[in-house]
Amino acid sequence: MTAPIKNSNPVIVDVALGDRAYDIVIGRDALGSLGERVKKLRPNARVAIVTDKTVAQHWLTKTEAALTQAGIESACIIVGEGEASKSYAVLQDVCEGLIAAKIERNDLVIALGGGVVGDLAGFAASIVRRGVDFVQVPTSLLAQVDSSVGGKTGINSPHGKNLIGAFHQPVLVIADTSVLDTLSPRQFRAGYAEVAKYGVLGDEAFFAWLEANHAEIFSGGAAREHAIATSCRAKAAIVARDERETGERALLNLGHTFGHALEAATGFSDRLFHGEGVSVGMVLAAEFSAHLKMIAPSEAERVQRHLAAVGLPTRLQDIAGFQQEGLGDADALMTLMAQDKKVKRGRLTFILLEKIGKAVIANDVDAPTVRNFIAEKLAHKPGR
Ligand code: GLY
């Protein structure tokens, strides 16, 4: 029998990047060990926490207490919530805040929050004084299994998402699974899409395990730690082999070519969370793989069935305001996909499936074939 994971016994996943290697510490109450771990990593460092208003209400006191217990005083910079904070203006506020807090080369920035805070604080850390180290303390499931690991940091440009940024690896990630208890069910589900993604793209046995154990992941049992640790191990292995996304790291974009177009069509609003876009996008990628006869339709149905079983949107028609401009129109969706970073000279790049557990990069996909496939999906009537 597997021993239950105790607070004193977190799972440690190593991100093997040579002299920039770091640990991901995963467990209930792992946040309590932050101060001791920071002290060991950087004795005498100054520390500044960057967080957002909601996360501050829930977790700032506990984070500060964990640092104080280890004799570490910290400054704090609180930004507004949501994607709007990944802007030049807020980046400037964070950089100025770090300089005012006298954060220097050997000091540390702590990103306490979801993907927005991690991307923003990590990017600020990468440029203040030409680069200071930072620690990720992800507080959403999506951030714990994806954005806090691998060093992608950045902000949005008026031209598109994440167009200004840097690869800047954290020196430590603390994924306290108990902080996920305060997420709304919808936010948790959206993060779960990224967990399922690791099974679909590279690990059929993990996907089958998720099919059998998803209820315990949502209720907060030991399965939650296992799912997060397995996801982090999968990502860490890919990042260690292809840090700068010159090849295999692109597999992590499964569901994202379709998903980003859907997020753009819904104005990056609450109508569709990123993870929800990935869920619909992943099903479309699986169905498109079946359309191209790379997998059997039953494999795509299996992906759809599992994501629908946890309550995620899986069809274009599931998206709020589906009939509004852009979403019901194959040409509008094609235009949005053509703006994606993953387009090269009019040919689209998709991550497609050879089977559940084996994704491949297809970087020469013919646009009319995609358009016909989308038009077919748009004609699909819910319930059919
Ligand atoms: N979220 C995809 C990556 O980190 O490469």
Residues 290 and 158 in one domain: no
Is residue 53, in this structure, part of any structural domain at all? yes
- C-alpha–C-alpha distance, residues 326 and 113, integer Å: 31
User: Which atom of ligand 1 has the smallest separation from the CA of 250?
Assistant: 5
Is residue 203, in this structure, part of any structural domain at all? no
Sign of the C-alpha dihedral computed for residues 186, 187, 188 and 193 taken in this order: positive
Q: Which of 13, 85, 21 lies closest to 53 in space, CA to CA?
A: 85
Confidence at residue 341, expressed as pLDDT on a 0 to 100 scale: 57
From the CB of 236, is ligand 1 less than 6 Å away?
no
Q: Which of 274, 291, 302, 306 is catalytic?
A: 274
* 145, 149, 252, 278, best to mutate for ligand 1 pocket (most atoms within 8 Å of CB): 252
Is residue 224, in this structure, part of any structural domain at all? no
- C-alpha–C-alpha distance, residues 354 and 360, integer Å: 7
CA 151 to centroid of ligand 1, rounded, Å:
9
Residues 111 and 24 in one domain: yes
Confidence at residue 326, expressed as pLDDT on a 0 to 100 scale: 62
Q: Give 312-340 pLDDT, tens digit per residue.
A: 999 998 998 876 656 778 888 888 887 76
- C-alpha–C-alpha distance, residues 40 and 42, integer Å: 6
Domain harbouring 318, CATH code: 1.20.1090.10
CA 132 to centroid of ligand 1, rounded, Å:
22
Burial class (CB in 10 A: 0-12, 13-18, 19+), 330: middle
* 140, 152, 244, best to mutate for ligand 1 pocket (most atoms within 8 Å of CB): 152
Band (5; pLDDT cuts 50, 70, 90): very low
From the CB of 15, is ligand 1 less than 6 Å away?
no
Give mean pLDDT, residues 133-152: 98
Confidence at residue 384, expressed as pLDDT on a 0 to 100 scale: 42
Lowest mean pLDDT among 76-85, 215-224, 321-330: 321-330
- C-alpha–C-alpha distance, residues 262 and 327, integer Å: 7
Tokens of 368: 């009319």
Residues 6+ apart with CB under 8 A from 330: 371, 374, 375, 378
* pLDDT of 264 strictly over 50: yes
Is residue 276, in this structure, part of any structural domain at all? yes
For residue 157, what are the β-bridge partners? 160
Helix or strand or coil: residue 26?
strand
Q: Which of 28, 86, 152, 161 is catalytic?
A: 152
Pick the last residue of a domain from 158, 182, 206: 182
DSSP state for residue 32 in the 8-state scheme: G
Q: Whose CA is nearest to atom 3 of ligand 1?
A: 252
Range of the domain at 287: 254-384
From the CB of 151, is ligand 1 less than 6 Å away?
no
Residues 153 and 32 in one domain: yes
From the CB of 243, is ligand 1 less than 6 Å away?
no
Sign of the C-alpha dihedral computed for residues 146, 150, 151 and 157 taken in this order: negative
Pick the last residue of a domain from 142, 164, 182: 182
Domain harbouring 59, CATH code: 3.40.50.1970
Strand pairing category for 160-167 and 152-157: antiparallel
Q: What is the pTM of this model?
A: 0.94
Confidence at residue 160, expressed as pLDDT on a 0 to 100 scale: 82
* pLDDT of 343 strictly over 70: no
159 is known as an active-site residue:
no
Residues 162 and 297 in one domain: no
Tokens of 266: 């819904």
Is residue 212, in this structure, part of any structural domain at all? no
Is residue 219, in this structure, part of any structural domain at all? no
245 is known as an active-site residue:
yes
Q: Give 18-74 pLDDT, tens digit per residue.
A: 999 999 999 999 999 999 999 999 999 999 999 999 999 999 999 999 999 999 999
User: Which atom of ligand 1 has the smallest separation from the CA of 239?
Assistant: 5
Band (269; pLDDT cuts 50, 70, 90): confident
Answer yes or no: are the C-beta atoms of 146 and 235 closer than 8 Å.
yes
36's torsion region: left (phi>0), alpha (psi -120 to 50) or beta? Answer: alpha
Long-range contacts of 342-350 (CB under 8 A, 24+ apart): 342/250, 342/253, 342/256, 342/257, 348/257, 349/250, 349/257, 350/257, 350/285, 350/288
Give mean pLDDT, residues 182-202: 97
Is residue 329, in this structure, part of any structural domain at all? yes
Structural domains counted in the chain? 2
Tokens of 355: 């089977």
Answer yes or no: are the C-beta atoms of 267 and 185 closer than 8 Å.
no
Residues 146 and 269 in one domain: no
From the CB of 145, is ligand 1 less than 6 Å away?
no
Answer yes or no: are the C-beta atoms of 175 and 118 closer than 8 Å.
no
> Which stretch of DSSP H or E encloses residue 352?
strand 347-355
Strand pairing category for 347-355 and 358-365: antiparallel
Pick the last residue of a domain from 163, 182, 201: 182
Q: Give 144-161 pLDDT, tens digit per residue.
A: 999 999 999 999 998 888
* pLDDT of 273 strictly over 60: yes
Give mean pLDDT, residues 354-379: 93
From the CB of 197, is ligand 1 less than 6 Å away?
no
From the CB of 351, is ligand 1 less than 6 Å away?
no
Residues 274 and 143 in one domain: no
Is residue 146, in this structure, part of any structural domain at all? yes
Residues 271 and 130 in one domain: no
Confidence at residue 190, expressed as pLDDT on a 0 to 100 scale: 98
* pLDDT of 342 strictly over 80: no
Residues 6+ apart with CB under 8 A from 21: 14, 15
Residues 147 and 263 in one domain: no
Total length of the chain:
384
315 is known as an active-site residue:
no
Q: CA–CA distance from 192 to each of 213, 287, 308 (Å)?
A: 12, 20, 12
Other C-beta atoms closer than 10 Å to the C-beta of 130 total: 7
Band (294; pLDDT cuts 50, 70, 90): very high
Residues 178 and 273 in one domain: no
249 is known as an active-site residue:
yes
Strands across the sheet with 108-113, in order? Answer: 11-15, 22-27, 172-176, 133-138, 108-113, 47-52, 74-79
